[in-house]
Amino acid sequence: MPAPHRRLRSWRRPPFVVVEGARARVALVTGASRGIGRAIALALSADGVDVACAYGSNAAAAGEVVEQVQSRGARAVALEADLHDIGQASALVTRTLEALGNLDIVVNNAGLTRDGLVLRMSDADWNDVMTVDLSAAFAICRAALRPMVRQRSGRIVNITSVSGISGNPGQANYAAAKAGLIGLTKSIAKEVAGRGITVNAVAPGFIDTDMTTGLGGPVVDRLRSLIPAGRLGTAEEVSAAVAFLASPAASYITGCVLQVDGGLAA
């Protein structure tokens, strides 16, 4: 008979302890200048992780995130990249290695939306979203796996969406890209599990960010009414899920999609 299981305790993030001679882990976070990406960079730095904060255009905001990370005692650098250019996406890995010395965690968070009904959606709107939200993430994963395979360890966390699980009217391009990201996550997870590398996805629902606020009060009220929990989520709740999956505590979790959506896609 199998041995009886001990009762599992709820996971709590352990405090970061500096071990003499041990090197800090290094993370690359895309879309780190605001919203969920900013929260992820700060959550990882609270665990003693050095962070390469990749951003698209807002250098001032990225610089503020770097300062906040450094105030927590971790190293940080801001890296500008246009993720419409797959070459620039891949180069983020090399630039992180040059700036911080190694790479242990990748969080593909950057994304954009070009919403519209399929009958009115242009090729440009489709291609822009697929390139930034899916192809760039693939290019970064491919580049990051080379050093991770050599060191036989690593964490990749891809930020997808509940739209990629259940679809959403007016977001065929975004939902397709995020669904593709789930397939990418599961496929890579099976390829590299034997090398000590985990690959997971986090699927946020409606999160209280600048983007959501810009939709206007009535729209936000309607979205809130769809959520079983009765409220929008916070960027910090998403970043906590990412920090867990990037931690040593999640070493036996790979290929999963963790929904942070208040029950929206239940």
Catalytic annotation, residues: 174
Residue type, position 8, single letter: L
Q: How far is CA 97 from the centre of its chain?
A: 19
Both structure tokens of 122: 């242009």
Token digits for 104?
Answer: 């242990």
Q: Which residue has the tokens 């709820």?
A: 10
- Three-state secondary structure along the chain? CCCCCCCCCCCCCCCCCCCCCCCCCEEEECCCCCHHHHHHHHHHHHCCCEEEEEECCCHHHHHHHHHHHHHCCCCEEEEECCCCCHHHHHHHHHHHHHHHCCCCEEEECCCCCCCECHHHCCHHHHHHHHHHHHHHHHHHHHHHHHHHHHHCCEEEEEECCCHHHHCCCCEHHHHHHHHHHHHHHHHHHHHHHHHCEEEEEEEECCECCHHHHCCCHHHHHHHHHCCCCCCCECHHHHHHHHHHHCCHHHCCCCCCEEEECCCCCC
Residues 132, 86 contacting (CB under 8 angstroms): no
Q: Which of 22, 17, 16, 70 is nearest to 42 (CA)?
A: 70
